[in-house]
């Protein structure tokens, strides 16, 4: 059974710092890995999706890397801002016929990030 | 587009009552899924659907029923609510990129917070 672990569980940093969030998974036979952001009382917003054949994806100040063989992914946030404060979740999926996961994701428990001014 | 909508936002039930959580999407997505989010346990997949008329179980299906009669709607039914079903429920959808290959980018609704007493 796939298990996803996120470290640290919580992180508090001053504004402007670069930071790294970690995600590890036990079964390397994944189809893709996604990073999500969740604000308090809200739904999840997809940040980055990395296919199993890719090594990294970038969007603005966010960069996610994937090392499938070691079962690890990192989310790098550059020049953090108070608006980045949220819970960050990673999720992995197994592939299915048709080249999709059908939305069947296994989530980690999340990292609660606080960026203080 | 409204994206993924869920109703109600909040609900309190007594043990043994039944109810239906509504989920709708207006993006013509094929794939829809239901997750529950509990403190310390992340999100867990309840049921999912790969198209109208096709549903399957996820990791924690017991106590829940689903059906998908249209592409847009994917309701989740609790037949006899139990305190263990107190949770936040999220619906998600994903589809194809302009009719081409499937996209695994997940779109989540805002959630329904359910309390069973």
- Looking at per-residue confidence, does A17 or B30 come out higher? A17
| Cβ separation A104–B101 shorter than 8 A | no
Interface residues from chain A to B (CB-CB < 8 Å): 4, 31-32, 34, 36, 41-46, 49, 89, 91, 93, 98-110
Find where tokens 């499938």 sit: A68
Burial class (CB in 10 A: 0-12, 13-18, 19+), B9: exposed
The angle at the Cα of A63, spanning A29 to A68, to the nearest 5 degrees, equals: 15
Q: Which is it for the CA torsion B52, B53, B54, B57, positive or negative?
A: positive
Alpha-carbon distance of A109 to A90, in angstroms, equals: 8
pLDDT by residue (tens digit) across B13-52?
Answer: 999 999 999 999 998 898 999 999 998 778 999 999 988 9
For chain B positions 70-109, those within 8 Å of chain A (CB to CB) are: 90, 92-94, 101-109
**C-alpha distance across the termini of chain A, in Å:** 41
Cβ-contact A20, A74 below 8 angstroms? yes
Q: In sequence order, what are the residues at sequence separation of 6 or more whose Cβ sits closer than 8 angstroms to the Cβ of residue A9?
A: A109, A110, A111, A112
pLDDT by residue (tens digit) across B63-79?
Answer: 999 999 999 999 999 99
Mean pLDDT of A56-81: 96
| Cβ separation B58–A104 shorter than 8 A | yes
Task: Give me the long-range contacts of B67-70 (CB less than 8 A, separation at least 24).
Answer: B68/B32
pLDDT by residue (tens digit) across B75-117?
Answer: 999 999 999 999 999 999 998 655 566 667 889 999 999 999 9
Alpha-carbon distance of A81 to A64, in angstroms, equals: 18
């Amino acid at each position: 059974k796939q298990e996803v672990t996120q470290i640290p569980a919580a992180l508090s940093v001053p504004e402007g710092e670069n930071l790294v969030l970690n995600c590890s998974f036990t079964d390397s036979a994944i189809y893709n890995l996604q990073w999500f952001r969740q604000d308090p009382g809200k739904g999840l917003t997809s940040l980055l999706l990395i296919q199993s054949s890719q090594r990294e994806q970038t969007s603005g100040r966010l960069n996610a890397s994937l090392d499938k063989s070691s079962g690890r992914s990192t989310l790098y946030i550059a020049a953090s801002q108070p608006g980045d404060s949220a819970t960050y979740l990673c999720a992995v999926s197994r592939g299915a016929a048709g080249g999709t996961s059908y939305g069947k994701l296994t989530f980690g428990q999340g990292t609660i990030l606080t960026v203080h001014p | 587009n409204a994206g993924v909508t869920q109703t109600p936002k909040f609900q309190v039930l007594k043990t043994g009552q039944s109810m239906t959580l509504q989920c709708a999407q207006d993006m013509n997505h094929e794939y829809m899924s239901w997750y529950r989010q509990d403190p310390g346990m992340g999100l867990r997949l309840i049921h999912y659907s790969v198209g109208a008329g096709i549903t399957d179980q996820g990791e924690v299906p017991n106590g829940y029923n689903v059906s998908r009669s249209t592409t847009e709607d994917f309701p989740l039914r609790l037949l006899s609510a139990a305190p263990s079903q107190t949770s936040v429920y999220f619906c998600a959808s994903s589809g194809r990129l302009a009719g081409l290959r499937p996209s695994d980018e997940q779109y989540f609704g805002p959630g329904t917070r359910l309390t069973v007493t």
